[in-house]
Structure 1
Amino acid sequence: MPRQIFALKVSLAGVRPPVWRRVLVPGGYTLDRLHRVVQHAMGWRDCHLHSFDIDGRQYGEPDPDGEPPVRDELDVRLDAVVGKGSRFRYTYDFGDWWEHDLLVEDVCAADPDERYPTCPQGERACPPEDVGGLFGYQVLLAALADPGHPEHDVLREWAGPGFDPEAFDPTRATTLLRRFC
Structure 2
Amino acid sequence: MATPQILQLHVWLLDSEPPIWRRFEVSDQITLDALHGVLQRVMGWEFSHLYDFEIVGDRYASPFPVPLDGTLDATTPLLASFQLTKDTQFTYTYDFGDGWRHQITVADILPWRSDVKLPRCLEGDRACPPEDCGGVWGYEGLLERLADPEDPEYEELLDWIGVDFDSERFKVDAVNAQLQSV
Question: Does the alignment reach a TM-score above 0.5?
Answer: yes
Structure 1 stretches lacking a partner, 5+ long: none
Q: Which residue of 2 aligns with 1:126?
A: 128
Whole-Å separation in 2 of the counterparts to 1:146 and 1:8: 36
Partner of 1:56: 57
Aligned length: 180
Deviation, structure 1 residue 150: 4.2
Aligned residue in 1 for 2:167: 165
Superposed CA deviations along residues 113-136 of structure 1, whole A, max 9, x for unmatched, are 221110010011100001111221
Q: Which blocks of at least 5 consecutive residues in structure 2 are unaligned?
A: none
% identical aligned pairs: 42
Q: Structure 1's 154 and 79: CA in aligned 2 closer, same or farther, altered over 3 A? A: same
* Residue 21 (1) aligns with residue 22 (2): yes
RMSD (CA atoms): 1.8
**Contact 2:121 2:175 survives alignment (8 Å):** yes
Aligned residues of 1:143 and 1:150 also touching (Cα < 8 A)? no
1:117 aligns with 2:119: yes
**1:8 aligned partner, one-letter code:** L
Q: Could you say which residue in structure 1 is the equivalent of 2:32?
A: 31
Shift of 1:112: 3.2
TM norm structure 2? 0.91
With over 3 angstroms needed to count, the CA separation of the structure-2 counterparts of 1:21 and 1:65, relative to structure 1, is closer
Q: Please tell me the residue identity of whatever aligns with 1:10.
A: V
Helix, strand or coil for the counterpart of 2:150?
coil
Q: 1:75 is aligned with what amino acid?
A: T
Indicate if the aligned counterparts of 2:13 and 2:101 stay in contact, CA closer than 8 A: yes
Q: Which runs of 4+ in 1 moved over 6 A?
A: none
- Decide whether the 8 Å contact of 1:120 with 1:171 is kept in 2: no
Is contact 2:61-2:68 (8 Å) kept? no
1:2-47: CA deviation from partner (whole Å, max 9, x where unpaired) = 5300000011000111111111000111111100000001000001
